[in-house]
A and B are shown apart, each in its own frame.
Chain A
Amino acid sequence: MSQPLKFYFDFLNQSSRALYILLEASKIPFEAIPISMLKGEHLTGEFRDNVNRFRKLPAITDHGYQLSENVAIFRHLAREKLVPEHWYPRRHLGRSRIDEYLAWQQTNMGVATTEYFQQKWLVPYLQKTRPADNAVNLASKQLEHTLNEFEQLFLNSRKFMMGDNISYADLSAICEIDQPKSIGYNAFQNRNKLARWYETVREELGPHYKEVLGEFEAKLKGSGSGQQQGVAQAVKQ
């Protein structure tokens, strides 16, 4: 059955996974439309005209209205659909605190996880080469720094980032950390608080998260064949 809300995604992308899990967990009716960035399916003129003029993933069309950008889509859903309050709570200034985190993530953790993923996996995959040691080491240092900052600035003694209930900040953050973790990076070395938080979020998210993470990791393993028309820079929104 066709739904007015269409979600275009690729699980190789952090934001695609976060929004997909949110949609499933919130039981919002939507049509899931997978797009392969590795095959360049988002770069066609048809995608630009019918889905998103910026040729970005994830993207939605809602009754034909086109929208991209993780946070803009999230806020659209929170405003227009029945998203449970705990994902974006109004009480106790939760919304502004989540907005603050998501803005920080975009220019800090998101940059570091994407850079590491590109240097360690994506560029070698596309070019059929071994990872460049210098580039991976540089990306690794940046990732070390940002994970330390994340742990110090945003994790506390509460169960989740914003308190006793999970929010979109937690969901978005765990999808970022999975990006390097799924290709062998140990994010939890000397970061006990981070490890505890990660396990707590994973358990709370339950089957939706496990399913999506499984598909992401299967993609990583199963991408040994197939065409490689994708553009590296397009993987991260």
Chain B
Amino acid sequence: MSVSFLASLLGLSNDEDQLQVAFDEVLKRRVPSRQPTNLRMSAPIRYYYDLMSQPSRALFIIFRLSNMPFEDCVVALRNGEHLTEDFKKEINRFQRVPCIHDNGYKLAESVAILRYLSAKGKIPEHLYPKYFVDQSRVDEFLEWQHMSLRLTCAMYFRTVWLEPLLTGRTPSEAKIETFRMQMERNLDVVEEVWLEGKDFLTGSSLTVADIFAACEIEQTRMADYDVRIKYPKIRAWLKRVRQSCNPYYDVAHEFVYKISGTGPQAKL
């Protein structure tokens, strides 16, 4: 994840105290993870994440909705905790979040983690179908978003919010416009193709595709981009996704809300 890498590589300076306070507040109010009641169960999965990271938020919400117990292992990307040799050796050789440890088995990449846990029966089938064309359609979205929605939303966020924070330099209007146009080409596809004739991205009910997509799009909120102005279907869909995922959706995005200064109620 280039955004977090850049942030930690250069080291936050201006707003670090503010971020620390905001982040600590979020952590204090975190919904406690459920403890396993069956003593014969293996140790809960260790989940390494930072709620500043879009896929980390998505998996956080999915795990909560699935009632899957896990051990919280928060990694502060802004402090470069993922860039140490210890992290690389002990936690994740890719030096990124999210990743999991399942009784010693280490796995990275949010989509791979999702599929692994689904194969183990940890993710209910209404969220990630196991069979036939239902899974194909969710898979198609998960693969499409990598190089389209995720890439362009992250680039816009980085250009407008992260780089000025790190360098103190304001990007040119032309540069902002370029990245906004690239992002909106993909938002157009979400609005006109994925959401055509249905309430959710892959059908009439929520799946992990919606959760991943919403977490990507919410990232742009921090860059003062309001997707709801131009995209009425996305606006209505985001409301449905939030309603379906709460209270976990708001917990996962509390940091995003705080930084952007706009709660989910604003202008809805």
Contacts and interface: CB of A to CB of B under 8 A. Distances in A.
Classify the interface of chain A: helix, strand, loop or mixed. helix
Given A53-B193, A95-B119, A99-B116, A68 B140 contact: yes
- DSSP class of B's interface residues: helix, strand, loop or mixed? helix
Contacts of B139: 69, 71-72, 75-76
Contacts of A236: 147
Contact of A54 (B110, B142, B189): B189
B112 A103 contact: yes
A236 B148 CA distance: 12
A96 interface: yes
Interface in A59-88: 65, 67-72, 75-76, 79-80
A106 interface: yes
Contacts of A100: 107-109, 112
A68 B142 CA distance: 11
A99 B147 contact: no
A114 to B, nearest CB: 9
Contacts of B116: 93, 95-96, 99
B140 A93 contact: no
A180 B190 CA distance: 32
Interface in A103-122: 103-104, 106-107, 110-111
A153 interface: yes
Nearest to B114: A99
A153 B112 contact: no
B68 to A, nearest CB: 16
Interface in B56-110: 93-94, 105, 107-110
Interface in B133-159: 133, 135-137, 139-140, 142-144, 146-147, 151
Top 10 A-B residue pairs of the complex, sorted by shortest distance between their CB atoms: A69-B143, A99-B112, A103-B109, A72-B139, A96-B116, A100-B112, A72-B140, A71-B143, A76-B136, A100-B109
Interface of A: 53-54, 65, 67-72, 75-76, 79-80, 93, 95-97, 99-100, 102-104, 106-107, 110-111, 153, 236-237
